[in-house]
Structure 1
Amino acid sequence: MKNFLYLLLVAMFSRSGSSCQSRRDDPSKALNLVEFHSGTLPIILTVPHGGEIRHPDILNRMNGCRGTDGTCQFLKDPSCASTTECKVVNFQDMSTIDIAWTVANQIEDTLGGRPFMVISHLHRMKLDPNRELDEAAQGDEIATTAYLDFHNLINDTRASIGTGILFDLHGQGHKQNSTEVGYRISTSELNAGIVAAENSSIRALAERLNLPGNELIQGAQSFGALLEGQGFRALPSPRQPIPGEDKYYRGGYITNVHGSLNGGQVDAIQLEMPSEWRYEGTLDQRNVFAKAVGEAIAEYYELHYL
């Protein structure tokens, strides 16, 4: 049975030039919900919100309610549905899985090796891997198994590569036609000029290169600078070092726990890619954008990790 499920996953998700693997001992519950591809470079691509599977045995995630201790509790209580204090987001980040494959292929074309890939195929209504477990899976057994698969695969990969970089791929619809590059530095901190690399998800990189945060996050050696060099707007970047009044995501749970903020030598950056390039234009336009992201990642790797 395990062999059949493994072959089913390969048939469903295999792409040319890469191998699909599972590290689970018992794949019966979540094998087709989390996709893993081994790489040859110390680069990890994660895609937590692109999934389309609405598993019928998993109740939809619901807003939570404040507990007596003041914290949000996510118990799938219908009476909490109308609350806004503990709101959950269930929107899919459209096209991010397809973009991830184009990004990976471009990295291989440029560097001659492939990144590792960890992809969640559950719809965000059922699971959000970019949140803590209680909010992400809300107590559901199948969703919890998939969540643990997703993060354990990242942890195993981080341990195997030593020094490297993780890019967490997301989508936003802020209508600013700009990719928001998240390092766990907030809008208010950027606007105030507080760009402390030691408080960012690329802490290890900054320490290794002995460079200040503003150079690595806003300056010529930042990912935003490289993506703008490919012809696509990015925030922060030398062109736009601070959000000002613009909307901006600083990076979420994956960037926080799997980057180097709290130790280790694997850095992490969240990329919030704009809807203008993900699905509002043509397929050719999306592919041009995705290849540019892949090329910028390859340049970032060559600049900082070789």
Structure 2
Amino acid sequence: MLTDEPEVIFSSNGYIEYQKGNMPLIVCIPHGGRQRPPEVLNRENSSKTITKNDLYIQEIGKDLKKEIIKLKSQPYLIVNHLHRSKLDVNHKLEEGSSAPETKKAWEEYHNFISRAIEDIKEKHRRDLLIDLHGHEQSENIKLGYTLSKEELMLSDEQINQSPSVQTESSIKNLYLYPYE
């Protein structure tokens, strides 16, 4: 049943937003937050630390949700409102956060995901989680699924027959749980 306004819950510190849905779709928006509270430390910088935000990703995620609502369904939505220089929820806790406030936000982000999955398990047979990403440079598009440049240059047939793609790629669940 579609309601006009979803149940919206914010984390204890207000940095993470959870909107409850009514269909087996979870849309996560891990980057793109604009909040940079001065009292929250920046993440420790290393050569591998990415602190630039994905451009327009929150807008894209919210537009996606609006389009799905036109279908009379409400996806679950989980949004990190902290800037990526403060928190990156797609990394391990110790790499993605440097302050007690961000460690708590990291945990609450992932708890909201677990909560959505559990809620969907009770109501639906399957679910789909979209971890929505963009790029800090609008003219570039990245596609990878943890595949190497060499693997991405293979033909579709070679990729489909590759054991490493089926077992090591982040799209492996599409192989493990085909639609019936």
Q: Which residue of 2 aligns with 1:150?
A: 109
Q: Which residues in structure 2 correspond to 1:1-306 (within 5 Å)?
A: 17-22=5-10, 27=12, 30=13, 32-64=14-46, 84=47, 87-110=48-71, 112-138=72-98, 140-162=99-121, 163-172=126-135, 173=137, 175-176=139-140, 178=141, 180-192=142-154, 193-194=158-159, 195=162, 196-209=165-178, 304=179
Which amino acid in the other structure matches residue 17 of structure 2?
Answer: E
Q: How far apart, CA to CA, are the structure 2 residues paired with 1:104 and 1:45?
A: 8
Q: How far apart, CA to CA, are the structure 2 residues paired with 1:57 and 1:108?
A: 37
Which amino acid in the other structure matches residue 78 of structure 2?
Answer: V
Alignment RMSD (CA, Å): 2.3
**Structure of larger gyration radius:** 1
Q: How far apart, CA to CA, are the structure 2 residues paired with 1:115 and 1:166?
A: 10
Q: How far apart, CA to CA, are the structure 2 residues paired with 1:166 and 1:205?
A: 12
Gaps of 5+ in 2: none
Deviations 1:138-160 (A, max 9, x none): 2x100100000001111222233
Please report how far the alpha carbon of residue 130 of structure 1 lies from its aligned counterpart in structure 2 after TM superposition: 1.4
Please report how far the alpha carbon of residue 182 of structure 1 lies from its aligned counterpart in structure 2 after TM superposition: 4.5
More divergent stretch after superposition (185-194 vs 151-160): 185-194
TM-score by length of 1: 0.49
Please report how far the alpha carbon of residue 174 of structure 1 lies from its aligned counterpart in structure 2 after TM superposition: 6.7
Please report how far the alpha carbon of residue 181 of structure 1 lies from its aligned counterpart in structure 2 after TM superposition: 4.4
Q: How far apart, CA to CA, are the structure 2 residues paired with 1:123 and 1:174?
A: 18
Please report how far the alpha carbon of residue 109 of structure 1 lies from its aligned counterpart in structure 2 after TM superposition: 1.1
Please report how far the alpha carbon of residue 95 of structure 1 lies from its aligned counterpart in structure 2 after TM superposition: 1.8
Please report how far the alpha carbon of residue 207 of structure 1 lies from its aligned counterpart in structure 2 after TM superposition: 3.0
Deviations 1:113-170 (A, max 9, x none): 11101100111111111111111102x1001000000011112222332321111112
The alignment covers a number of residue pairs equal to: 165
Q: How far apart, CA to CA, are the structure 1 residues paired with 2:50 and 2:145?
A: 21
Deviations 1:4-52 (A, max 9, x none): xxxxxxxxxxxx6322024x6xx2xx2x100000011111111111111
Change (3 A) 1:186 1:159: farther
Q: How far apart, CA to CA, are the structure 2 residues paired with 1:127 and 1:47?
A: 12
Higher relative contact order (CA 8 A, sep 6+): 2
Please report how far the alpha carbon of residue 208 of structure 1 lies from its aligned counterpart in structure 2 after TM superposition: 3.3
Q: How far apart, CA to CA, are the structure 2 residues paired with 1:206 and 1:119?
A: 28
User: Does the 8 A contact of 2:26 with 2:77 survive in 1?
Assistant: yes
Structure 1 segments, 4+ long, off by >6 Å, are none
Give me the identity figure in percent: 30
User: Does the 8 A contact of 2:55 with 2:138 survive in 1?
Assistant: no
Gaps of 5+ in 1: 1-15, 65-83, 210-303
Partner of 1:97, secondary structure, is helix
TM-score by length of 2: 0.79
Change (3 A) 1:197 1:108: farther
Change (3 A) 1:49 1:208: closer
